[in-house]
Amino acid sequence: MSYDYSKVIIALDTPEEEKALNIVKLLKHKVSIFKVGLELFCSQGPEIVKKINDLGCKVFLDLKFHDIPNTVAGAAKAALSTQAFMFNVHASGGREMMRKVRETVDAASVSEKPIVLAVTVLTSLDERDLKDINISKSPLEQVKTLALLTKQAGLDGVVASPKEITAIREAVGQDFIIVTPGVRPSWAQAGDQKRIMTPQEALEAGASYIVVGRPVTAAPDPVEALDKLFDGAWHQQEGDIV
């Protein structure tokens, strides 16, 4: 298997435009998709998406919309106007909310339709957190339920932990996009990511795209870090949270 950098998304987790655009300029020879999350979007607004597009790159707009169907459909329309390559909603917003988003995207007269994903269960939540909100299913069962709902509502795929890929593929099949953060090269610290796989393991497990942030963007030399993204096997290091 060759490790295809077209499946790599680099997370721009900074509030500063200059820092974000510098990372894009440094890495765009190898990677063409960059993730703009709440921090950067709330600091810089939709213009940041245009500026990344103007550098010849694509944007995964990771704003995780979650509201009543009408409001989220309006947000989807606004996301369409930024020309994001990919954006997402929370699957727990429900079937109708996701259907409305599908309809909005289908009805839009844009040359390239964005990929629309749903977040299933945030990887920061465990069984106890789900109990707090009266969900008695395990996180994995809940992920499968919400992945199926996402597919039925007509969205293109989900954001999920790499450890959930196999179960999601069993539940919804191959024709479904799975984007996985929580990947760590063998040479990187796990940091606050809990259920990790290496980039190559995640792709082999069936991820359509992998999201990598700090191992590359916080490295002393981000270009070198990106070059060795697929190097080596995972060795657990002291202090890693796994």
The residues annotated as belonging to the active site are 64
Q: Applying CB under 6 A, which part among 140-148, 201-209, 210-218, 231-239 lies near ligand C5P?
A: 210-218
Q: Can you tell me the distance from the alpha carbon of 52 to that of 40, in angstroms, rounded to the nearest whole number? A: 12
For the chain, the first-to-last Cα distance in angstroms comes to 26
CB of 103 to ligand C5P, least distance (A): 25
Q: Decide: is 162 part of the binding site for ligand C5P (CB under 6 A).
A: no
| 11/226 with CB nearer ligand C5P | 11
Q: Applying CB under 6 A, which part among 52-60, 109-117, 212-220, 233-241 lies near ligand C5P?
A: 212-220
Q: Decide: is 93 part of the binding site for ligand C5P (CB under 6 A).
A: no
Q: What angle is formed at CA 191 by the lines to CA 26 and CA 57, rounded to 5 degrees? A: 25
Question: For 146-181, b where at least 16 C-beta lie within 10 A, e where not — what string?
Answer: bbbbbbebebbbbbbbbbbbeebeebbeeebbbbbb
Q: Decide: is 69 part of the binding site for ligand C5P (CB under 6 A).
A: no
By beta-carbon distance, which residue lies closest to ligand C5P?
213
| 103/231 with CB nearer ligand C5P | 231
H-only helix segments in the chain: 17-27, 38-44, 47-54, 69-81, 95-107, 127-132, 139-152, 165-172, 199-205, 214-217, 222-227
Q: Decide: is 211 part of the binding site for ligand C5P (CB under 6 A).
A: yes
Q: What single-letter DSSP state applies at residue 114?
A: P
- Binding residue (CB under 6 A) for ligand C5P from 49, 213, 225, 234: 213
Nearest Cα to Cα of residue 37 among 77, 67, 65: 65
Q: Decide: is 37 part of the binding site for ligand C5P (CB under 6 A).
A: yes
Q: Decide: is 122 part of the binding site for ligand C5P (CB under 6 A).
A: yes
Residues that bind ligand C5P (CB under 6 A): 11, 13, 35, 37, 122-123, 159, 181-182, 193, 211-214
